[in-house]
Amino acid sequence: MRGNKVRQGINNIVILTGAGVSAESGIDTFRSAGGLWEQHKVEDVATPEAFARDPDLVLRFYDMRRERIQQVEPNAAHYALARLDAAWSGNLLLVTQNVDDLHERAGTQRLLHMHGEHLNAWCSACDERHLWRGTLIDRPACPACGIAGQLRPDIVWFGEMPYRMDEIYHALNHADLFVSIGTSGAVYPAAGLVREARKKGIKTLELNLEPSHGASWFEESRHGPATELVPAWVEEMLGG
């Protein structure tokens, strides 16, 4: 049974998370110094053209990241968001740009991966998706159609359409509060959600290590590590 504590005037929440919420679990963010996009060019590993040009490089990159996320644990920010999800009696949708499974492992249920998931493989032959913990470099056969060499990472690459945008905009249309956590606001359409929220008169809050590209769009911004800011914010929301 979900608790009945809601903050004054706030019943329906949309939360957007980015790589910053997983940083303290030991997963590289994309745009920090030494981050993923400094180690690999986006155009070499995260576009359909890159996959067509050098599938081995792309498969190895995602095999490495798929293995990495299985070696780390959720952090206090993930657990605090899962606590909010479990206790919040109003509507709540956690939209994550992250492709790790740390929100799930912390217990969040009302969750949507708009950029796909490392632990899914997607068959280009039969369009089926499968939980996948191993590697793809050896071109395994699809468990559904049996065709080998057609499984790709179920990741939304640059130039591809993020998943379930209709659900995201629907949730935002009915929200009273939009909270952005651990994202640089560098990539659309995720980065544009705060503007949609402002247009609708929805309260907006940013929790991030530093001001994001979209910081000026937020009514309130708090800066610091997610493992400190997020538990404190959840305490506030649950009336702790």
Residues with catalytic roles: 115
d(CA 142, CA 144): 5
Examine residue 184 and tell whether it contacts ligand APR (CB under 6 A): yes
Binds ligand APR (CB under 6 A): choice among 210, 219, 220, 236: 210
Closest separation in Å from C-beta 23 to ligand APR: 4
Closest separation in Å from C-beta 125 to ligand APR: 25
Residue nearest to ligand APR (CB): 20
Examine residue 19 and tell whether it contacts ligand APR (CB under 6 A): yes
Nearest to 126 by CA among 103, 97, 93, 149: 149
Judged by beta carbon, residue 19 or residue 106, the one nearer ligand APR is: 19
d(CA 151, CA 27): 24
Neighbours of 11 (CB within 10 A): 15
Examine residue 76 and tell whether it contacts ligand APR (CB under 6 A): no
d(CA 93, CA 111): 6
Give 137: exposed, middle or buried? Use CB within 10 Å, 0-12, 13-18, 19+: middle
What phi and psi values does residue 148 have, to the nearest 5 degrees?
Answer: -90, 150
Examine residue 25 and tell whether it contacts ligand APR (CB under 6 A): no
Q: Which of residues 111-150 bind ligand APR (CB under 6 A)?
A: 115
Task: Scan for tokens 């050098």, then name that residue.
Answer: 54
Examine residue 204 and tell whether it contacts ligand APR (CB under 6 A): no
Binds ligand APR (CB under 6 A): choice among 12, 25, 97, 204: 97
Examine residue 234 and tell whether it contacts ligand APR (CB under 6 A): no
